[in-house]
Amino acid sequence: MDIKHIGVVGAGQMGNGIAHVMALAGYDVLLNDINGEALEAAIARIDKNIERQVSKGAVSVLEKAEAMARISTTVTLTDLGPCDLIIEAATEREEIKHQIFATLLPHLAEHTILTSNTSSISITRLAAKTDRPERFMGFHFMNPVPLMQLVELIRGIATDQPTYDACLAVVERLNKTAASAEDFPAFIVNRILMPMINEAVYTLYEGVGSVHSIDQSLKLGANHPMGPLELADFIGLDTCLAIMNVLHDGLADTKYRPCPLLTKYVEAGWLGRKTKRGFYDYRGDVPVPTR
């Protein structure tokens, strides 16, 4: 099918990034959030991020103006019903995702494809509670969306080939690269990445190294652009913990047991950059390790 109109649910970090790249690629985007202020902040962020691309010569002034004009917003979820493709990018809680799709279902066009940007939750399970499991799949962007090249496309057990092909065509139009993943807990990237981050937290928990020495070791010893604890703060410690719990519950293997220290940080509300404290304290001019 020819996808022209895209609905995005959630105006947070992932949702505004998805709206950003879709608009630049020529799609009409309807961005939804329950919070009107969040929508205003998302538009301001998109404008700022595209302006950064303009300053680097990657996007022209005209292309920016055209992209911004393609984005509209709404606090009414059901307004997304007529869209050709809907990408749910709400918080990583399964019950909330089910509620979103249940609200949308009576208002969807016959041809609408439903997708989720979930980083770990079963696509088959999400799809099974809709009226179109064959037109449902995982559409997992990496963070930050405008900069990261990869998109994971995850088929549920019922996803049909035309749906996959339509989503693949969107990825290609974005000039990104698709990785096809099977519907198992955390898919490919987070199945590998999150246990590494969890092991880094265990290394800290057991006193093998400090926050600084662990991150420095991976950056200089394994050529990682960002240390695992710094990366965890960037992702959000609550998201890291949620994905580890999905892995632990879904695969029933003790190697995926979340580190108690990760749980403790989340209980304290120290979730990383978004709350100004995590494995680093971001309240000053320079991030300072908290352990």
Does 49 count as an annotated binding residue? no
Does 119 count as an annotated binding residue? yes
Does 11 count as an annotated binding residue? yes
Selecting among 16, 32, 119, 122, the annotated active-site residue is: 119
Beta sheet of 5-9, edge-to-edge order: 71-74, 28-32, 5-9, 85-88, 113-116, 136-141, 150-155, 177-181
Selecting among 120, 190, 198, 230, the annotated active-site residue is: 190
Residue position matching structure tokens 């990657």: 58
**Is residue 152 annotated as part of the catalytic site, yes or no?**
yes
Does 10 count as an annotated binding residue? yes
Does 13 count as an annotated binding residue? yes
Does 7 count as an annotated binding residue? no
The distance between the two most distant Cα atoms of the chain, rounded to a whole number of Å, is 56
**b/e 277-289 (16+ beta carbons within 10 angstroms → b):** bbbbebeeeebeb
d(CA 185, CA 61): 42
**Is residue 63 annotated as part of the catalytic site, yes or no?**
no
Does 274 count as an annotated binding residue? yes
**Is residue 224 annotated as part of the catalytic site, yes or no?**
no
Tokens coding 91: 């918080």
Cα–Cα nearest to 116, from 147, 91, 145, 134: 91
Selecting among 20, 32, 120, 140, the annotated active-site residue is: 140
CB 268 within 8 Å of CB 279: no
**Is residue 223 annotated as part of the catalytic site, yes or no?**
no
Does 25 count as an annotated binding residue? no
Does 14 count as an annotated binding residue? yes
Does 219 count as an annotated binding residue? no
Which residues belong to the active site?
A: 119, 140, 152, 190
Binding-site residue ranges for NAD(+): 10-15, 33, 92, 97, 119, 143, 274
Binding-site residue ranges: 10-15, 33, 92, 97, 119, 143, 274
